Chain A
Amino acid sequence: MSTSADMRTKAVLPNEAARPASRKRRMAPGELGRHLSTTTLLWVFAIGFAFPLLWFILSSFKPAGDLFSYPLTLLPKQWTLTGYATAWQSFNFAQYFGNTIVVACVTTVLTVAASCATGYALAKYSNRWLKVFFVCILATTMLPTEVMLAPSFLVVRDLGLYNSLAGIIVPSILTATGVLMFRAFFLTVPDDLVEAARIDGARELSIFFRIMVPLSRPIMVTLAIFSFQWRWNDYIWPLLVLNDPNKFTLQIGIESIVGAQNINWSVLLGASVISMIPLVLIYLVFQKYVMNANINAGLKD
């Protein structure tokens, strides 16, 4: 509290001198000027962000022969889906799709369940072991798979998970981000709620399942989307664990096109765009859970 008061005085004092000028400037063009400038800046960034993808997608509709023909044109002179058709036929795409969907869905369900339980325990209980485990969870953010590639690979091999989809799923369930998201959420849930339930005689685990799990539904959806995206887009771990081309995921399949001596851009563009479609659809349907991840919803004191 004292810090915010300090801040406010700090904010006010130096401004005293500049005050009349700035007020005049803001009053004269009115709100319109700010609307215009903010909106313009926003859209300059938005167009900049949209452009790489827009160019990529538009190019994917060009016939293979036109891809490199100068002068380049933004819109295809002639729209075609041959790139997509070739991509779909020349790779085991349906199989890759299926594999990726299985991996992403199963991991997501397990991640949400494990993270919710752990996050709640870390937020609403306090003992030495939980503190130790919290530090352990934090430490895992510094121990991403990439850092322990070789030993993680040996562990998965020794567990007999090599070359199986389970070998991708099981090691990915524990995510620090998920746990921390739920912990942050449950920290905002008033302790009174837990105490009141205890006074009413509720058992600890039923407080969790009956009160806390339903409360955290928005976080669940948010984490589910994140997790689905992480697993859909995973590259290095599936690359190591999977050996059988029938078990490959989409990203490995696409990388094999990029890694070729001469990249077949027509196929690559089509394959890449196809691989993005599911995530874009999920995002468009559930975007309010991602963007309005307002952790405080419904819990205002």
Chain B
Amino acid sequence: MTLTGNATAVSASEREGTPAPKLRRMRPNRYTAAPLILISANVVLFALFFVWPAVIGFGYSFTDYTGVGDPQFVGAKNYLDLVGDPSFYSALLRTLEFTLMVVPLSYVVSLLIANFMVSKYAKGKPVARIIFFLPWLVSPIITGVVWRWLFGENFGLVNFVIESLGGKPVPWQSNANLSLLVVVFAATWAGMAFSMLLFIAAIKNVPTSYYEAAALDGAGPARLFFSITLPNIAPTSFIVILLTTIGTMKEYALFVSLNNGGPGTDNNLLVQYIYQTGFQRGQIGYASAASFVLMIILMAVALIQLAVNRKAASR
């Protein structure tokens, strides 16, 4: 009985719903009431804070609601305006660029460090563990402050070192792309620990007999990693990529404190765009429409990843 075998067996019976439910239908009360009681709190919260906002958000996205007064139905005007709004496009594009940089970088770095952290060859793991985990404790706002302090254009340590070595100061704040790059570093730095943790747990759950057998057959460390570790932690990889993608696409606080979406509005991401239209300009209807576009993107991302994962699992 291996763990992976267990997990696939469970998900298989879940999907097909074979003999088990039939048996249970004979005694419906006992097996229906108990779980319903157990999930009741979360069902209520789900209805209140997910279904309700989603429904009224969808409704308001077709109105010119400003938060007060009566909303006027304006049809698809908000969505049409969005399509023609260049600042929405640039926010959307910037969000995608940011995500496409953070997700792979974060995945590789966290998986690499997780491997070091389970390696019997590495020394000083208990201390390294604390170091790797500290950034996770730091809030996005403070993370932004820390990296702003490090990469300040006129006062940061990085530019000081570059200048001391005879280089020219790098415009970390006034160049939009460099500024985004700093946020990418900061986001990776801050988010790595959580992924690393999931990877460490997953790698530890791979049966050691697999490694022993392969090592006996002469497999080197790289081969062990790609042929045993990687396939066996595939479900964790899926979760990590999904969570990182979603976390990255909704990033806001980090930008607020690191560069406030700047220089100018060059690094405004979608959430910042939604916040500004909805709460600073009071266009709730319009912001709701933008929210829906973001939601559809996140759903699409999740569904694509789910499909890929299913395909990989059934292979």
A28 part of interface (Cβ distance < 8 Å): no
A122 touches B197 (CB 8 A): no
Chain B min CB distance to A254 (Å): 6
* 8 Å CB contact of B140 from A34, A67, A124, A235: A235
- A294: interface (CB < 8 Å): yes
Total cross-chain contacts (CB, 8 A): 339
Binary interface encoding of chain A residues 136-177 relative to chain B, with 1 for a CB under 8 A from any of its CBs, else 0: 111111111011111111110001000000000011011001
Q: How many Å from the CB of B136 to the closest CB on chain A?
A: 7
Q: Could you tell me if A291 and B141 are in contact, using CB atoms closer than 8 angstroms?
A: no
User: How far, in whole Å, are A248 and B219 apart by their CA atoms in the complex?
Assistant: 57
Per the bound structure, the CA–CA distance linking A59 and B42 in Å amounts to: 45
CB of A265 closer than 8 Å to a CB of B = yes
Closest Cβ of chain B to A57, distance in Å, is 9
Interface string of B5-33 (1 = CB under 8 A from A): 11100100010010011001000001111
Contact B291 A15 (CB under 8 A): no
> With a CB–CB cut-off of 8 A, which chain B residues contact A174?
42, 45-46, 49-50
Among B57, B119, B139, the one with the most A-chain Cβ atoms within 10 Å of its Cβ is B139
Cβ of A26 under 8 Å from chain B: yes
Q: Does B310 contact A (CB under 8 A)?
A: no
Q: B218's contact among A22, A122, A295, by CB below 8 Å, is which?
A: A22
Chain B interface residue count: which class?
A: 35 or more
Q: Mark B37-72, 1 if CB is under 8 A from A, else 0.
A: 111011101101110111011001000000100000
Binding site for B on A (CB under 8 A): 1, 3-4, 7-8, 10-12, 15-16, 18-19, 22-23, 26, 31, 34-35, 37-39, 41-43, 45-46, 49-50, 52-53, 55-56, 59, 67-68, 70-72, 113-115, 117-118, 120-122, 124-127, 129-131, 133, 136-144, 146-155, 159, 170-171, 173-174, 177, 179, 187-188, 204-205, 208, 229, 232-233, 235-236, 240, 251, 254-255, 258-259, 265, 268-269, 272, 275-276, 279-280, 283-284, 287, 290-291, 293-296, 301
Nearest 6 pairs between A and B by C-beta? A233-B139, A151-B57, A204-B34, A11-B227, A151-B53, A121-B35
